[in-house]
């Protein structure tokens, strides 16, 4: 077969959303790639400039369908810095718990959609079954299962209800048992390792140059996590470790990205348990919240997929003058040609699935 371009997308099982990956193949080997984005652009930033500050949390919820709380939280943090709002101590703990529950649900969503990419449909059903547990947990305080709108400027919508801690402990205990069971099915499986090891490799230096952040970067051995390096909420006071794979020649592949996410899920449960222990009593919403803001603010948080940045300029009215969102997946997908070249056509879903694509936040 001569060299030819294959267009994968915008409707294709590999894409996990709405984008096109054009790949140039020589037989089965990829020689070039060209990602095309923008099919899902909803102009969230511009819409936000016509709405009041507190209304925009509904838009940020819809940035990523798998991880909505983390995006709302990033927005709320930026606005709070802009307005100089001090939030109560208990609200910080509740926010941390919700963020980590969301991270668990998001990573489980990723693991579930990664397995059919490798031809393992049972894995999808197993991980999505466990995601239901965490969605049920998130539903208890917020009242919804996908778009929570729970984190508000100045705190959270309402306090955790009675019995939440016991329910969460029960769910986490069950999930830990199941993760042990899955280790035989996935990371100890010969065929799973054949498909993911030494595939889609990039080094730590490459990740920094290309702007790849989050679990994808920690998979190549970089010990960098904004929860520790630029701390927000109460991550400083909580007892937890950054999950990485050791740097070296065998790392930075799809398997190390998978393992980093599995380890992060275990670490998230550790954070939640520590929060339950240290959580003080008190109010969960600041008493006075301003409506107007002047100046500019910039915050970055550790999203489930990498570094989420928001920059807001206020001109003294009750609406933002300029709102800028930087999505971690935009840079990661743009770097696709660098880590796709030289691998086989069958590796495309294995590689593109392993970086955890969410087109909602990418196209904004």
Partner 1 sequence: MTLFGACRIMAELSIRILIPIFEFQEGLFPPFSNPAGWIADWLATDGGLDTMAWFYAVNIALMVGMTNLILVIHLERKIAARIQDRRGPMLSFRALREIGEDLSGNAPSWKFKKNYSGIGILQNIADGLKALTKELIIPTKADKFLFTMGPIIFISSSVFLLALFPLSDRFAASSAPAGLMVIMAAFSIAPIGILTSGWASNNKYSMIGGMRSAAQLMSYEIPLLLSMAGVFLVAGSFDPVTIVEQQRESTWLFGLPMWNIIPQFIGFVVFMVCILAEVERVPFDLPEAEAELVEGWTTEYSGIRFMFFLMAEYIRGFAGAAVATILFLGGWAGPWPVPPEIWFLIKVYLIIIFWIFIRWSVPRIRTDQILVLGWKKLLPLSLINILIVIFMVEIYPYFTAIVNLPEVF
| Contacting positions for partner 1 (CB under 8 A) | 1, 4, 6, 8, 12-14, 28, 115-123, 125-126, 129, 185, 189, 191-192, 194-195, 344-349, 353
Q: How far apart are CA 149 and CA 127, in angstroms?
A: 24
Whichever of 43 and 122 has its CB closer to partner 1, that residue is 122
Whichever of 89 and 197 has its CB closer to partner 1, that residue is 197
Whichever of 7 and 43 has its CB closer to partner 1, that residue is 7
Give the shortest CB-219-to-partner 1 separation in angstroms: 19
Give the shortest CB-299-to-partner 1 separation in angstroms: 37
Whichever of 109 and 153 has its CB closer to partner 1, that residue is 109
Angle of helix 254-278 versus helix 347-354 axis, rounded to 10: 20
Give the shortest CB-19-to-partner 1 separation in angstroms: 15
Contact predicate 264/214, CB 8 Å: no
CB-based burial, 139-155: b 16+ in 10 Å, e otherwise: eebbeeeebbbbbbbbb
Q: What is the DSSP letter of 300?
A: E
Whichever of 13 and 283 has its CB closer to partner 1, that residue is 13
Q: Which residue has the tokens 């208890």?
A: 140
Give the shortest CB-351-to-partner 1 separation in angstroms: 11
Give the shortest CB-71-to-partner 1 separation in angstroms: 28
Contact predicate 278/251, CB 8 Å: no
Whichever of 11 and 287 has its CB closer to partner 1, that residue is 11
Give the shortest CB-348-to-partner 1 separation in angstroms: 5
CA distances from 218 to 103, 144, 192, 200, 307 (A): 16, 32, 21, 15, 12
Whichever of 13 and 250 has its CB closer to partner 1, that residue is 13
Closest CA to 256 of 178, 316, 339: 339
CA distances from 58 to 20, 146, 255, 263, 285 (A): 28, 12, 35, 31, 18
Closest CA to 68 of 37, 38, 47, 44: 44
Give the shortest CB-258-to-partner 1 separation in angstroms: 12
Q: How far apart are CA 343 and CA 122, in angstroms?
A: 26
Q: Which residues contact 258 (CB under 8 A, 6 or more apart)?
A: 111, 114, 186, 187, 196, 354
Give the shortest CB-201-to-partner 1 separation in angstroms: 15
Whichever of 8 and 79 has its CB closer to partner 1, that residue is 8
Q: How far apart are CA 246 and CA 216, in angstroms?
A: 13
């Amino acid at each position: 077969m001569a060299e030819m371009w294959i267009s994968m997308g915008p409707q294709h099982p590999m894409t996990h959303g709405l984008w096109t990956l054009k790949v140039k193949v020589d037989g089965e080997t990829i020689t070039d790639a060209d990602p095309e984005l923008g099919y899902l652009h909803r102009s969230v930033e511009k819409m936000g400039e016509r709405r009041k500050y507190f209304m925009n949390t509904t838009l940020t919820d819809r940035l990523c369908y798998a991880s909505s709380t983390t995006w709302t939280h990033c927005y709320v943090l930026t606005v709070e810095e802009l307005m100089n709002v001090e939030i109560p101590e208990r609200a910080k703990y509740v926010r941390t718990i919700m963020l980590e529950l969301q991270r668990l649900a998001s990573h489980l969503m990723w693991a579930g959609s990664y397995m059919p990419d490798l031809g393992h449909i049972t894995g999808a059903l197993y991980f999505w079954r466990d995601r239901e547990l965490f969605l049920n947990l998130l539903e208890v305080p917020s009242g919804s299962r996908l778009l929570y709108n729970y984190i508000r400027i100045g705190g959270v919508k309402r306090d955790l209800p009675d019995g939440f801690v016991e329910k969460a402990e029960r769910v986490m205990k069950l999930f830990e048992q199941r993760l042990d069971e899955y280790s035989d099915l996935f990371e100890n499986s010969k065929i799973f390792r054949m498909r993911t090891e030494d595939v889609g490799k990039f080094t730590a230096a490459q990740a920094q140059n290309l702007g790849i952040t989050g679990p994808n970067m920690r998979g190549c051995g970089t010990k960098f996590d904004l929860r520790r390096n630029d701390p927000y909420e109460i991550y400083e006071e909580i007892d937890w470790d950054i999950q990485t794979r050791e740097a070296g020649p065998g790392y930075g592949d799809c398997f190390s990205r998978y393992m980093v996410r599995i380890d992060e899920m275990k670490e998230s449960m550790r954070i939640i348990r520590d929060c339950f222990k240290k959580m003080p009593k008190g109010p969960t919403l600041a008493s006075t919240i301003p409506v107007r803001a002047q100046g500019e603010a910039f915050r970055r948080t550790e999203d489930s997929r990498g570094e989420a940045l928001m920059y807001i300029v206020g001109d003294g009215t009750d609406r933002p003058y300029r709102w800028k969102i930087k999505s971690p997946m935009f840079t990661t997908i743009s770097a696709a040609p660098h880590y796709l070249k030289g691998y086989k056509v069958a590796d495309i879903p294995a590689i593109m699935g392993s970086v955890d694509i969410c087109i909602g936040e990418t196209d904004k």
